[in-house]
Amino acid sequence: MTFYDEIGVQPVINAATTFTLLGGSLMPKEVLEAMSSAAGSFVDMHELHEAAGRELARLTRNEAAYATSGCAAAIVLAVLGCRTGRQPQRIAGLPDDASLPDEVVMHAAHRIPYDPAVRLAGARIRQVGNVLQTFEWELEAAISERTAAVLYVAGSHLPPGALPLADVVRIAHDRGVPVLVDAAAQLPPVTNLWHFTTEVGADLAMFSGGKALRGPQASGLLVGSEELIQAARANGSPHQRFARALKAGKEEIAGLVVAVRRYVEMDHEAEVRAWYEVVNRWASRIDGGRGVCATVEDHNEAGQPVPRVRVDVDRAVARRPADAAVGLLARGDPPIHVLSGGPDRFWIGPDLLEDGEAEIVEKWVLAAFHEDEVAAGPTEGGVERGAGS
């Protein structure tokens, strides 16, 4: 009997994406072993953070790195570091000291549900441009003595209205302002671990540890400038400081280090080939007429090179609209979660599936639309739950 069995929670098959709602991703054996090993001893947490930071920096080709309790926590700590620098007297004034810079500049096209992390650091967002366009002079005009940083959200899935990152770095650095990159889901490619910082010149970049890296879900990776990494660390645990609540435990730190090492060393080309084998099979089987069309797409919802299948549904012809099929799959046995696109489409992805689950997903998607092709599908009963959040 598993832990979930003991408490009455049913595991699900994740054919959607690395949603926090579904637990991020699954940790490989070596990550779990590292966490278990770390849990068996006491350790000086300052020493652990320093050693882990050195190894993470080496692996990611950055000056410095810091293990956090998630990418949102990394944003909070990065903003705090930009506000206080290496000056303890500034830390003592948080969060309301009027002498501290308290503005973070963001493009309108980059306003996302996670930008409240900026406000958790005691700062406020100053928005520039609109979702369609931003001019350099708008960014220049927004930067003042109150500016702590410019926060740039990476991803080709976002609206097109932001300036290129290289231009943002140039403008901000000309005015002595650091640039932070929220790259939570911007893996793969592995090169992004150093691209934003060492290649484009951003001061810090933040990644989720529990998505493509397949580390602990409650982990994040902050990389970049040694000066700003140390300033961020000064605000966090084990110090009794403003961000003490954003604690990364010794187990999460160990798991993140091993997850990053595994990710950097793995054969990414072989992984992509395996994904395409799955999605090509899905598309050929599901694209069977009767109002259902399946198409292979080369990028996921975060704009990364992870293939998936888009299933388009003609409600006038198909047995049920797409959103009804999504609900049906989520109520099945086993429950299958996919990425919903409303009444006319949904997406299924291969990157988070365990052995044998690709066949299960295919079987039940077919059952939802071609009942005569599969004898039994998920049951209609139960309370509908959204699968796309």
SS3 of the chain: CCHHHHHCCCCCEECCCCCHHHCCCCCCHHHHHHHHHHHCCCCCHHHHHHHHHHHHHHHHCCCEEEEECCHHHHHHHHHHHHHHCCCHHHHHCCCCCCCCCCEEEEEHHHCCCCCHHHHHCCCEEEEECCCCCCCHHHHHHHCCCCEEEEEEECCCCCCCCCCCHHHHHHHHHHCCCCEEEECCCCCCCCCHHHHHHHHCCCCEEEEECCCCCCCCCCCEEEEECHHHHHHHHCCECCCCCCECCCCCCHHHHHHHHHHHHHHHHCCHHHHHHHHHHHHHHHHHHHCCECCEEEEEECCCCCCCCCCEEEEEECCCCCCCCHHHHHHHHHCCCCCEECEECCCCEEEECCCCCCCCHHHHHHHHHHHHHCCCCCCCCCCCCCCCCCCCC
CA atoms within 13 A on the CB side of 355: 0
pLDDT of residue 89: 84
User: Is the C-alpha dihedral spanning 232, 219, 120, 165 positive or negative?
Assistant: positive
161 token code pair:
């209205």
Q: Using CA atoms, how far apart are residues 15 and 170, in angstroms rounded to an integer?
A: 40
- Going 350 to 355 to 356 to 360, the CA torsion angle's sign is negative
Q: If you search the block for the tokens 């956090």, which residue do you land on?
A: 68
198 burial class (0-12, 13-18, 19+ CB within 10 angstroms)? middle
Q: How do the domains of the chain map onto residue ranges?
A: 3-19+268-369, 42-265
Say how far apart CA 70 and CA 242 lie, in whole Å.
Answer: 17
Q: Decide: pTM greater than 0.85.
A: yes
* The predicted structure's pLDDT at residue 371: 63
What pLDDT score does 385 carry?
33
Nearest to 348 by CA among 356, 339, 357, 360: 339
Cis-peptide into 334, omega within 30 deg: yes
Q: Provide Rg for the chain, Cα atoms.
A: 22
Per-residue pLDDT of the chain (389 residues; tens, 9 = 90+): 899 999 999 999 999 999 999 999 999 999 999 999 999 999 999 999 999 999 999 999 999 999 999 999 999 999 999 999 988 889 988 887 889 999 999 999 999 999 999 999 999 999 999 999 999 999 999 999 999 999 999 998 899 999 999 999 999 999 999 999 999 999 999 999 999 999 999 999 999 999 999 999 999 999 999 999 999 999 999 999 999 999 999 999 999 999 999 999 999 999 999 999 999 999 999 997 789 999 999 999 999 999 999 999 998 999 999 999 999 999 999 999 999 999 999 999 999 999 999 999 999 999 998 764 444 444 443 323 333 33
Task: Determine the CATH number of domain 3-19+268-369.
Answer: 3.90.1150.180
Q: Which CATH class is domain 42-265?
A: alpha beta
Residue type, 168: V
Give the span between the Cα atoms of 206 and 186, in whole angstroms. Answer: 9
